[in-house]
Chains A and B, each alone.
Chain A
Amino acid sequence: MKFLSWFAGLLVLSMITAFTFTGWQWNNLIEEQESVDEAWAQVESQYQRRADLIPALVKTVRASADHEQTVLVNVTAQRALTDSLAQVSELSKMLENNKAQPISWKNSDGVQQLAEQQQSVDRALNHVFAVAESYPLLTASENFLALQAQLEGTENRINIARVRFNREVKTYNATLKGFPGFLLARLGDFTPGVYFKAEKGSRHAPQLDI
């Protein structure tokens, strides 16, 4: 009898412990998922911030370059600048159109597509700055330097947001794959996250022959 009551007590205690532990892990997963949501929102916000700066950049560079169309700048450089500004403007319009279709971090194709789009913007902006080197007055102007500093600041914010997002995804994915995470995942809407990967070489300015 005494053994039965001990056994019953132990069983009850184990059930309470298991229930508490499961509840705690469930809450953990929810919290981690929220952290990933927050980190993703930061990534999107910083990309949007960069997109908002592009029209100002295009306007400043065009206005200054038009003034500087002299013998100092050869025709090839002028054409290269016009082309790169056109490309950046087109990308800017595409980003503006895509604003209405937010991408979830749970959608791996969507994340991949966003990464590719933003890498195109990276390349286009790098190209603009590389070609702008041929315009000495433009690169010395205060407006241009201020915009350049703002864009560099935004690039850094994007970088930090992506690093933090990847860290949150790592923590979240590790919990999902562990015990009892992999069991709980089946009970709720817990999809593993996808890491944001930067293309190799995308941060370097292209070599130009102007």
Chain B
Amino acid sequence: MHRNSTSDWLTSGAIALVLLFAVVLGILAVRAWQLQQTPVLVDDHYGLLDQREQNYLGQYHSRLLEQFDVDYRIVIIPGQDDIAILTADLFRAMDVGHYSQAGKGLLLVLQPDADKVRLEVGYSLEPIMLDAFVAYIESEQMVPFFQKMRVADGIVATTELIVNRFQNAAVSVDVSSELWVKGSGGAGAQSEAQLGQGASKEDYQNRSFSLVVRNEPQDPVLAYMSAMEHQDTNPTLSFYTAQTQEMLKDWVVTSSQMKNMSHTYKSCGSANIMLNHDHTLGVMRYPVEQRQCSPWFLAREGDVWKLDLTMMQHAIRFNANNQWRVNREAFHHYWFGFSDLNLDRNGYPRKNNRSYTWGLTVVDDRRAKPLAWISRIIPGSRAEAAGLQQGDIITAFNSKVLDNRRAFFTQLDALESGEKFKLSIQRQGQRLELAMVQP
């Protein structure tokens, strides 16, 4: 009897342990699954955004999370509850900041029924996102887009300013080490959303510029910068191409975007202008290291140089850090302006792009045996002065055989300024060796 009751106890104990182990394992498995779930950053309960816009915003904010570790959520919700209390409660309930390693959270709540919008800032971001700044970007950046019912565009445009803020603040405030507190305490600001109420435009017939146009290629860019500084959104200004004027009629440009652009380009320094073969098109480019200074496209209409923003929209893209890249899939006639750049597969100019200074384009040919040849030499460039010609096949670099453009540019970019090198080429069946110096 005694032996049976002991073995019964042992059996019960073993079963209890196994069950406990199974429960703990189940909890851990569920937790692991939860952690692996893709964060849901956009929650539209109202149906204001279509699926494409929701996907776009979701992807944009996912990149913000990856690059700046900020968990920025959007909720569009029906009803007319007090938006301040509602937002604070949602912030807690949704555990905004959870996806960020430093608990950095932002929550945008839009109530179309009450026509209100609020951006709530988590504790961890309060040192950077001051209430005055949030109020400013809502009224100056977001609401003008909301007035035209371009809700997704308004949110993206505001996020661009938030990114700028993070970039500028990164030097002075290390949020991740200073303040790691989840949740929010009511920081942020709210505004009337003014959804669909139409933009409040001033009569821009009265605006004018004092710029004297000399009809140089850079003149339309100078005029555009002046327009941004004066916050003139007139789409019919004379320095726009006809296509650009048509495009700008439906554009919304906010005063804060204009101020931001004017401020950015003031620090861009001097630019080079590259013209096409018949001098009807131009690309004005800043040093490649200035990643936020995107190039300008210029076109001659009649005898006058004009700014071609339409093609720029098509050909230039920006990442979440507001750094430009070339859209490699775009079809346009301005490719000559980038032919000297060593672009990666996403269209970003590579660093140490010394090949830029040579003014030549090299392409690969794999039809017979692999080889690299010069498809273009910019007239008056260093490459031309060094004796290179269009059609030359590059066979070796410092006596080392190469057969692709990548190898050529890698070795060229690796040279120090003033370093001598030998380039072996084949021209119409003849082998030549050129002695060159890296500028």
Contact = CB atoms under 8 A, between A and B. Distances in A.
A160 B88 contact: yes
Nearest to A146: B132
A50 B13 CA distance: 61
B132 A149 contact: yes
27 contacts: A46-B185, A46-B186, A145-B132, A145-B135, A146-B132, A149-B132, A149-B134, A149-B135, A149-B136, A149-B189, A152-B189, A153-B131, A153-B132, A153-B186, A153-B187, A153-B188, A153-B189, A156-B186, A156-B190, A157-B185, A159-B84, A159-B186, A160-B88, A161-B185, A161-B186, A163-B85, A163-B88
Given A145-B135, A147-B132, A153-B135, 18 more contacts: A42-B185, A46-B186, A145-B132, A149-B134, A149-B135, A150-B131, A150-B132, A152-B131, A153-B134, A153-B186, A156-B188, A156-B190, A157-B185, A159-B186, A160-B85, A161-B186, A163-B85, A163-B88
Interface string B149-175: 000000000000000000000000000
Interface string B162-204: 0000000000000000000000011111100000000000000
Contacts of B187: 153, 156-157
B130 A150 contact: yes
A163 to B, nearest CB: 6
A43 to B, nearest CB: 11
Contacts, number: 49
Of A145, A150, A152, A153, chain B has the most CB atoms within 10 Å of the CB of A153
Interface of A: 42, 46, 145-147, 149-150, 152-154, 156-161, 163
Contacts of B131: 149-150, 152-154
Interface of B: 84-85, 88, 130-132, 134-136, 185-190
Contacts of B188: 153, 156
A53 to B, nearest CB: 11
Contacts of A157: 185-187
A146 B185 CA distance: 19
A42 B187 CA distance: 13
Contacts of A145: 132, 135
A72 B75 CA distance: 45
B32 to A, nearest CB: 29
Contacts of A46: 185-186
Contacts of A156: 84, 186-188, 190
Contacts of A159: 84-85, 186
Contact of B186 (A147, A150, A160): A160
Nearest to A42: B185
A156 to B, nearest CB: 4
A42 B181 CA distance: 14
A149 B135 CA distance: 7
Nearest to B188: A153
Contacts of A146: 132
A154 B190 CA distance: 13
B88 to A, nearest CB: 5
A160 to B, nearest CB: 3
A95 B186 CA distance: 23
Contacts of A163: 85, 88
Contacts of B186: 46, 153, 156-161
A46 B131 CA distance: 14
Contact of B185 (A149, A150, A152, A160): A160
A147 to B, nearest CB: 8
Kindly name the residue among B132, B136, B189 whose own CB sees the greatest number of chain A CB atoms within 10 A: B132
Contacts of B130: 150
Query: Which 8 pairs across A and B sit closest by C-beta, in order of nearness?
Result: A153-B131, A160-B186, A157-B186, A149-B132, A146-B132, A149-B135, A156-B186, A160-B88
